[in-house]
Each structure stands twice: as structure tokens, then as C-alpha cells.
Amino acid sequence: MSSPLGRYEEMLHGSLPARYLLARSVKVELQEDLPLPERWKLHDRMMEHLREAIGRRDAPRIVRPNLLDLKVSIARDVIRECSLCEHRCGTDRYHSHGRCGVTESRISSQFVHMGEEESLVPSYTVFFSGCNLKCVFCQNYDISTCPDAGRSIPINEMARQLSRLASHIGAEPRFRAAGDIRNVNWVGGDPTPHLPYVLEVLSRSDANIAQVWNSNMYLTEHAMSLLDGCVDIYLTDLKFGNDACALRLSGAPSYMRTVTRNHLMASGQGEVIVRHLMLPGHLHCCTLPVVEWLAENMPGAAVNIMAQYRPAHHAWMFPELRDVVSLGEHRKVLEIARRKGLALI
């Protein structure tokens, strides 16, 4: 069985470029006054050129303007009537707060994270403030519910920070040492409201380092299209197995349609690590349906079924969430997942 993270592993050995650098090698005749629908059509045409380049092993030659510049241009306009997430609040986020509360992108913290999945660490993790979901059990509620927390870091400064993390494109390939940063990990809160910021940072960086989109995956198809060609690994949350629990506990209408669609899109755009945090009292309504869906639809994805839930934030208002997940129940789910052929990590 091939590794679910095969391309990423080749990147770590210096034999493949990060996807976003390939996007920066696709020449685009970009006109800023081109209407947004026409820019989307141009984007879709140029994505075909990028897909042809994905398997290329030689160092891409950066050109300007390029496909990533086009993605930035589109993203800047999308948030004038914001439709980055499936709430589709339509807010002009240059002038007011949308459903997520985010206007200017603010970063709560950034550091070398050693607590992610083994294949990802050491991971340079950027925690954005604000989130598009309202999970009552959120472990990071101090930043997800406070979009004004943290500080604003200029795009050029963040791009310079990324450029110091890895060799520049075109540099001699090398094996990474055990302590080297393996990736840049965009998280929160959730990174979705900050998509224009992330794309613009990448448009100004030339660091050959994997990009990880660490998200609840409650995005629109347009947002997923903008990420296509810029993300090497999707580190996703598949929280629920039905719409009722998602609406009651996270305020997310049409959750299953949205998030399963985006998982399938992600699997066609890069490699995927799916996380599922088991919730007490949600074995049959959420965990087992999630395992079943993954086995039927994403059998090649890496999957992390987690049992470290602890009551936090507003969880005490929901009787079943006041408990913890037993080790026995977790073992039972892992055994079911293995029998169904999931690639557990």
C-alpha cells in the first residue's frame, strides 16, 4: 500500500517543490480591471497549466504576474461580499465584521509546534484569531471567539519569516535534518477568514516548504478553488456525522454536504490528514458514521481518531459533553476503523 503522504515525504527529501511555487511559475496575463467573473474564467483556464506541472521535479522558474497573483486578486474581491465560508454572510469585510468577526487578519501566536501528528513535526504553526464556526466545546475558544486578539503582522514581514524557514526555490536539494521545520501550518481559530492574507504571503515568499491548511473545512467551493495549487497537505476536522449535531453544537447548517464535498475536493488537490475528535455520547450519531464515510469515500487518506476531548468553553451547558471518552470506546472505534481499511496514524 502506497503512503498516504507520498508527495509530502518526497518534498522533505528535497526532490519536489512546494505546490505554491509551481503556481508562481504559471504565467498569467493579469489585468486588474478585468471583472471578477472574467478573472474566475481565466483562473480556471490557467489551473489546467498548473495541473500539468504538479509532477515536475525540476525547480520552477518564478514569473510575474502569475497564477498565485491572480488568486490573490480574486480573493481580495471575494471578501467585498464575503463568501469564503458556507455562511456566505455577504459582508464587505474591508469595512465591517462578518459572521466570523474578522476584518484585519490578526495572529494570536506563531511557534514551532511539536504536538501535531508525527509526520508533521516540527511544524511552524501560525494561529489566527477568529473562526467561522461557534463550537460549544472549542479547546481554543480564547482565540476563536476573539478575532481582535493578537497582532497584525504585515504581509511582507510574514513572507520574510517564511523565507527563513527553508531553502529558496532553486537551491540545491538536501535531506532535512531531524530538527528542521517540515512545514508551515496555517490554523486558528480557523484560517478560512484569513485566506486572502495567506495567499498574499505565499505570493511574496520563495521558501521551498510544504504548506498545511489546518481547518474545519466549512469553506465554499470558491474558497477551495483558490486554495487549489497552494496547499500540500489538508489537515482537516471531520467533526460530526450528521447535520443535527453540527447545527446544535457548532452552528453549522448543511454541515455534511459542505464538509464532505470539501474533503473530496481536498483529496484531489493534495494529500489529506483527517482528524476526528470523538465526543462523549456521540459514538453512533457521529463517530461511526464518520468512519463509515471515510472508508467508502477516502480510503487512501491518513486518519487520526482522537480521544483527548475534555469539557471546555460552553460544553458544560450540554449534558453529554460534560463527560470524557473512555479508552475502551476509543479502542473499539480504532478496531472498527482498521477492519474497514483506514490508514490510521
pTM: 0.95
Categorize the per-residue pLDDT at 58 as very low, low, confident or very high, splitting at 50, 70 and 90.
confident
Which of 139, 146, 154 lies closest to 97, judged by CA?
A: 146
The verdict on residue 164 lying in a domain is yes
pLDDT of residue 175: 45
The verdict on residue 290 lying in a domain is yes
Categorize the per-residue pLDDT at 174 as very low, low, confident or very high, splitting at 50, 70 and 90.
very low
The verdict on residue 1 lying in a domain is no
For residues 102, 107, 108, 110, the Cα torsion angle rounded to the nearest 10 degrees is 150
pLDDT of residue 1: 54
The verdict on residue 83 lying in a domain is yes
pLDDT of residue 6: 93
Q: Tell me how far CA of residue 150 lies from CA of 103, 129, 130, 157, 237, in angstroms.
A: 13, 7, 10, 16, 24
Q: Cell numbers at residue 136, please?
A: 460549544
The verdict on residue 218 lying in a domain is yes
Categorize the per-residue pLDDT at 2 as very low, low, confident or very high, splitting at 50, 70 and 90.
confident
pLDDT average, residue stretch 254-283: 98
Asked if residue 275 lies in contact with residue 246, where contact means CB atoms within 8 angstroms, the answer is no
Contacts of 209 (CB under 8 A, 6+ apart): 18, 162, 165, 166, 181, 182, 183, 184
Categorize the per-residue pLDDT at 17 as very low, low, confident or very high, splitting at 50, 70 and 90.
very high
pLDDT in tens, 208-234: 999 999 999 999 999 999 999 999 999
Categorize the per-residue pLDDT at 179 as very low, low, confident or very high, splitting at 50, 70 and 90.
low
The verdict on residue 180 lying in a domain is yes
pLDDT of residue 287: 98
pLDDT of residue 169: 59
State the residue range of the domain holding 22: 6-90+99-344
CA atoms within 13 A on the CB side of 236: 31
Residue in this structure with the C-alpha cell 463550537, named with its chain if needed: 135
Q: Is the pLDDT of residue 297 over 70?
A: yes
Task: Report d(CA 20, CA 268) in Å as an integer.
Answer: 15
C-alpha triplet 218, 211, 80: angle, nearest 5°: 45
pLDDT average, residue stretch 273-280: 98
Q: Is the pLDDT of residue 178 over 70?
A: no
The residue length of the chain stands at 345
pLDDT of residue 15: 83
Q: Structural domain tally of the chain?
A: 1
Q: Tell me how far CA of residue 34 lies from CA of 8, 40, 79, 266, in angstroms.
A: 36, 10, 17, 28
DSSP state of 167: P
pLDDT in tens, 32-48: 789 999 999 999 999 99
Q: What is the CATH number of the domain that holds 109?
A: 3.20.20.70
The verdict on residue 229 lying in a domain is yes
pLDDT average, residue stretch 102-127: 96
Which residues are bridge partners to 275 per DSSP? Answer: 237, 304
% of residues, the chain, pLDDT over 70: 96
Indicate the SS3 state at residue 130: coil
- Is 3 or 290 the better-scoring residue by pLDDT? 290
DSSP H/E element including 37? helix 36-53
DSSP state of 309: -
